[in-house]
């Protein structure tokens, strides 16, 4: 039952962030970051009809992450958290997920905004972000609520990407 599953990159994500050190934890920076996704030629026809979506979901491989850890200490936190309660790359299957704004598509190149992804990251999948199924009002955000309380920012007023990422789980730990 635990057979391995093989995937292969469908493209490459290029961003201003050339090393892990320089990825902004504060999304006040990342929100304006523009990245370019090159989809490999053989998959380009699959981009048809995508341009009409304002936001897309990127799934990618955390290629710089090596061993996994079931317990991590997220940035801006001082406690160990279970890996599945974070967005850390140190996961058993190193799949990253970011919702980005789609600026435009020219043949095989997508330009996107709000990429907090390291340059050269292998792209696994693109999905349309569908507000009606992907945008959900939650009633609990676990340990993040403690964090927000600690930083004296009311979580209910804190919905923009800009304000929030700085106090929430980051893609690094």
We find the least distance from the C-beta atom of residue 20 to a second copy, in angstroms, to be 19
Among 147, 168, 172, 173, binds a second copy (CB under 8 A): 168
Using rule CB under 8 A, residue 159 touches a second copy: yes
Using rule CB under 8 A, residue 152 touches a second copy: no
Strands 34-39 and 95-106: unpaired
Rule CB under 8 A: which of 71-90 touch a second copy? Answer: 71, 80-87
Q: Which two tokens stand for residue 106?
A: 């020219």
Using rule CB under 8 A, residue 119 touches a second copy: no
Q: CA 90 to CA 64: how far, in whole Å?
A: 10
Using rule CB under 8 A, residue 139 touches a second copy: yes
Using rule CB under 8 A, residue 140 touches a second copy: yes
End-to-end CA distance of the chain: 30
How many Cβ atoms from other residues are within 10 Å of residue 138's Cβ? 8
Using rule CB under 8 A, residue 112 touches a second copy: no
What does the angle CA 2 – CA 98 – CA 114 come to, to the nearest 5 degrees? 160
């Amino acid at each position: 039952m635990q057979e391995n599953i093989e995937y292969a990159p469908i493209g490459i994500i290029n961003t201003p962030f050339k090393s892990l050190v320089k990825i902004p934890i504060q999304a006040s920076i990342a929100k304006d970051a523009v990245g370019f996704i090159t989809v490999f030629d053989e998959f380009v026809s699959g981009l048809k009809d995508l341009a009409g979506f304002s936001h897309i979901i990127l799934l990618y491989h955390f290629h710089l992450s090596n061993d996994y850890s079931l317990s991590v200490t997220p940035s801006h936190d001082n406690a160990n958290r279970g890996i599945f309660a974070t967005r850390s790359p140190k996961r058993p299957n190193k799949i990253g997920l970011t919702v980005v704004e789609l600026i435009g598509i020219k043949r095989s190149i997508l330009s996107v905004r709000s990429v907090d992804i390291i340059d050269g990251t292998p792209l696994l999948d693109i999905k349309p972000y569908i507000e009606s199924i992907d945008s959900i009002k939650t009633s609990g955000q676990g340990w993040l609520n403690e964090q927000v309380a600690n930083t004296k920012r009311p979580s209910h007023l804190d919905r923009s990407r800009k304000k929030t990422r700085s106090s929430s789980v980051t893609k690094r730990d």
